[in-house]
């Protein structure tokens, strides 16, 4: 029998040490469908050890000045930046995304997360008011909460993990993080940089495993007063139930069913390529991706023709292919789920304009069992269809016509989600009007995914609770206290 390549074995990182686990989970390379890594299948025991370490590290870390904590965060950023290529290669292999995207978006943004919060922590001010007639002065102070439980998803593994770790650390908390068991490699690699950067043992603990075992142990632990979660709505419901007896602080960033609204005065030369990107970037596996495209009737045919042509140009290829616009989906189960939506659309009488079942996907022989799917465009579909109401989280988007501004706002707002929207129009008055009426936490006009990290990020309705950003993350990761002094 031919010798098999040794599997990458991950270990938990608790109290500054790598610790083996008694059982492991297989992790797959999405581009080949082969097991290439083993992830600790942690549970209550590992969480107890992590809580103990985090609680012991808290007094010292929280009493450091913001300037000292900022220096440590900048050190982490510098070390991560020096290893950018190594991290990008690992993220692409682990998640299935293109190497180009990991190089230009995921890892640079992870570096930026540390730098951004290293800077913003130095610029917060507190409030003070006086009541001269009573001889009183009132002021506020903010203090770190304690041990922060951070649960991050598989679509942007290091990008979203660091978006939580950096502000939690900056504010003076200690951390127990649980990355997705599907994409744990870059979190494990990050642990190797922490000691070098001067992060004291116990300040950041990373425990790997499934939501059911380790996630539930973390969320239900009475000594973890705060949970920040990015992921699906059903998981968020479970987190809320488990947190309720302890009155935990919760930040929940959940799904989206994001509309793009394209008015007849839109610049299609800019709008078409940007909407292809907003629909299919990272295989459509971004909570901010567009999955419902409403096009004003007078330009519907022209837009659809150009959009389908541009979608067909998006090459699906192995993640290391520099010409690939899209890589592999995360797992076999997820690929099957996404494909099932296309089958449901066909059963309802919709048309598949390109992609799944229409065009041929060509892949190298060793990647035939990988989780690849062509970007797929659906038309002639009702607003009530599951493809128009449920989050598919894959390379599938629906294009439908509309008549009037009032009608499209009502239709865009008709789903349970309210995360993001894009509006395309050259009429400034209309852009402001529509943006204000859309039930979305973020509205991009004539662009997509241009982020200003100072400002609030998060969704309305079933897209979550709370916001993230410079001030919002600081508020979440601290407790505010009002102090009154009578003199």
220 and 352 assigned to the same domain: no
Task: Report, in this order, helix, strand and coil percent for the chain, each rounded to 5.
Answer: 40, 25, 35
176 and 263 assigned to the same domain: no
Provide the CATH number for the domain around residue 418.
Answer: 3.40.309.10
Specify if 431 maps to a domain.
yes
441 and 383 assigned to the same domain: yes
- Whether the per-residue pLDDT at 156 is higher than 70: the answer is yes
- Please count the other Cβ atoms lying within 10 Å of the Cβ belonging to residue 134: 9
Specify if 180 maps to a domain.
yes
As a whole number, the mean pLDDT across the chain is 97
Catalytic residue among 253, 356, 391, 468: 253
State residue 376 phi and psi, 5-degree precision.
-120, 130
Closest CA to 366 of 27, 24, 91, 36: 36
- Whether the per-residue pLDDT at 237 is higher than 70: the answer is yes
Mean pLDDT of 108-128: 97
**In this predicted structure, what is the pLDDT of residue 487?**
87
Specify if 79 maps to a domain.
yes
Specify if 454 maps to a domain.
no
Mean pLDDT of 34-55: 98
Mean pLDDT of 55-59: 98
**In this predicted structure, what is the pLDDT of residue 3?**
45
Specify if 458 maps to a domain.
no
Residue-wise pLDDT tens digits, 472-481: 999 999 999 9
Percentage of residues of the chain with pLDDT beyond 70 = 99
Annotation marks residue 253 as catalytic: yes
42 and 171 assigned to the same domain: yes
52 and 101 assigned to the same domain: yes
207 and 141 assigned to the same domain: yes
Specify if 317 maps to a domain.
yes
138 and 15 assigned to the same domain: yes
110 and 234 assigned to the same domain: yes
**In this predicted structure, what is the pLDDT of residue 4?**
57
Residue-wise pLDDT tens digits, 284-310: 999 999 999 999 999 999 999 999 999
Residue-wise pLDDT tens digits, 429-455: 999 999 999 999 999 999 999 999 999
Give the total number of structural domains in the chain: 2
Closest CA to 421 of 256, 280, 304: 256
Mean pLDDT of 233-256: 97
- Whether the per-residue pLDDT at 172 is higher than 80: the answer is yes
Task: DSSP for 255-310, please give it.
Answer: ---EEEEE-TTS-HHHHHHHHHHHHHGGGG-STT-EEEEEEEHHHHHHHHHHHHHH
Closest CA to 380 of 338, 348, 403, 421: 348
Mean pLDDT of 31-37: 97
300 and 425 assigned to the same domain: yes
Tokens for 280?
A: 């299919």
**In this predicted structure, what is the pLDDT of residue 5?**
74
404 and 441 assigned to the same domain: yes
Specify if 450 maps to a domain.
no
Task: Mark residue 314 as left, alpha or beta (left: phi above 0; alpha: psi -120 to 50; beta: remaining).
Answer: beta
For residue 308, give every residue at least 6 positions away whose Cβ sits within 8 Å of its Cβ, in sequence order, or none.
Answer: 353, 354, 377
Residue 192 belongs to domain spanning: 8-255+463-486
Mean pLDDT of 243-266: 98
- Please count the other Cβ atoms lying within 10 Å of the Cβ belonging to residue 429: 8
265 and 221 assigned to the same domain: no
279 and 214 assigned to the same domain: no
Closest CA to 185 of 407, 373, 28, 15: 28
> What are the residues facing 38 on neighbouring strands?
9, 26
For residue 312, give every residue at least 6 positions away whose Cβ sits within 8 Å of its Cβ, in sequence order, or none.
Answer: 354, 359
Tokens for 242?
A: 């488990």
Provide the CATH number for the domain around residue 35.
Answer: 3.40.605.10
Could you give the C-alpha distances from 227 to 185, 220, 302, in angstroms and in order? 22, 10, 47
For residue 178, give every residue at least 6 positions away whose Cβ sits within 8 Å of its Cβ, in sequence order, or none.
Answer: 149, 150, 151, 152, 206, 207, 208, 209, 211, 214, 215, 218
* Whole-number Å distance between alpha carbons of 191 and 18: 9
Specify if 127 maps to a domain.
yes
Mean pLDDT of 365-390: 98
Mean pLDDT of 409-429: 98
For residue 235, give every residue at least 6 positions away whose Cβ sits within 8 Å of its Cβ, in sequence order, or none.
Answer: 211, 215, 229
């Amino acid at each position: 029998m031919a010798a098999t390549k040794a599997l990458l074995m991950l270990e938990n990182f608790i109290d500054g040490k790598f610790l083996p686990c008694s059982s492991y989970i297989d992790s797959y390379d999405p581009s080949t469908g082969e097991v290439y890594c083993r992830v600790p299948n942690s549970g209550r025991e590992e969480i107890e050890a992590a809580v103990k370490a985090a609680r012991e590290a808290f007094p010292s870390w929280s009493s450091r000045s913001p300037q000292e904590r900022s220096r440590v965060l900048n050190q982490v950023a510098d070390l991560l930046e020096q290893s950018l290529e190594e991290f990008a290669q690992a993220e692409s292999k682990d998640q299935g995304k293109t190497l180009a995207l990991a190089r230009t978006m995921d890892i640079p943004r992870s570096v930026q997360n540390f730098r951004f919060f290293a800077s913003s922590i130095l610029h917060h001010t507190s409030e003070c008011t006086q009541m001269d007639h009573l001889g009183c002065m009132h002021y506020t102070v903010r203090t770190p909460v304690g041990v922060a439980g951070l649960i991050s998803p598989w679509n942007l593994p290091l990008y979203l993990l660091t978006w939580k770790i950096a502000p939690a650390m900056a504010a003076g908390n200690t951390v127990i993080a649980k990355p997705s068991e599907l994409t744990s490699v870059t979190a494990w690699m990050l642990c190797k940089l922490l000691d070098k950067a001067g992060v004291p043992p116990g300040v950041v603990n990373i425990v790997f495993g499934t939501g059911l075992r380790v996630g539930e142990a973390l969320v239900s632990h009475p000594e973890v007063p705060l949970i920040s979660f990015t992921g699906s709505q059903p998981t968020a419901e479970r987190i809320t139930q488990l947190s309720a007896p302890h009155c935990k602080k919760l930040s929940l960033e959940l799904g989206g069913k994001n509309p793009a609204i394209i008015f007849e005065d839109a610049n299609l030369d800019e709008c078409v390529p940007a909407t292809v990107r907003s629909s299919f970037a990272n295989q459509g596996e971004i909570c901010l991706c567009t999955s419902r495209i409403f096009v004003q009737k007078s330009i519907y045919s022209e837009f659809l023709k150009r959009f389908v042509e541009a979608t067909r140009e998006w090459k699906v290829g192995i993640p290391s292919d520099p010409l690939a616009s899209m890589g592999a989906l995360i797992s076999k189960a997820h690929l099957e789920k996404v494909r099932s939506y296309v089958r449901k659309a066909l059963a309802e009488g919709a048309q598949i304009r390109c992609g799944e079942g229409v065009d041929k996907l060509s892949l190298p022989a060793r990647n035939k069992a990988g989780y690849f799917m062509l970007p797929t465009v659906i038309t002639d579909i009702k607003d009530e269809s599951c493809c128009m109401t449920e989050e598919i989280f894959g390379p599938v988007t629906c294009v439908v016509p509309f008549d009037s501004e009032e009608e499209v706002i009502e239709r865009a707002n008709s789903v349970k989600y309210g995360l993001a929207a894009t509006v395309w129009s050259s009429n400034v008055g209309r852009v402001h009007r529509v943006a204000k009426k859309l039930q979305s936490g973020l509205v991009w006009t004539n662009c997509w995914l241009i982020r200003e990290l100072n400002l609030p990020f998060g969704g309305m309705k079933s897209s979550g609770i709370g916001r993230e950003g410079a001030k919002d993350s600081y508020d979440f990761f601290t407790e505010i206290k009002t102090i009154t002094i009578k003199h």
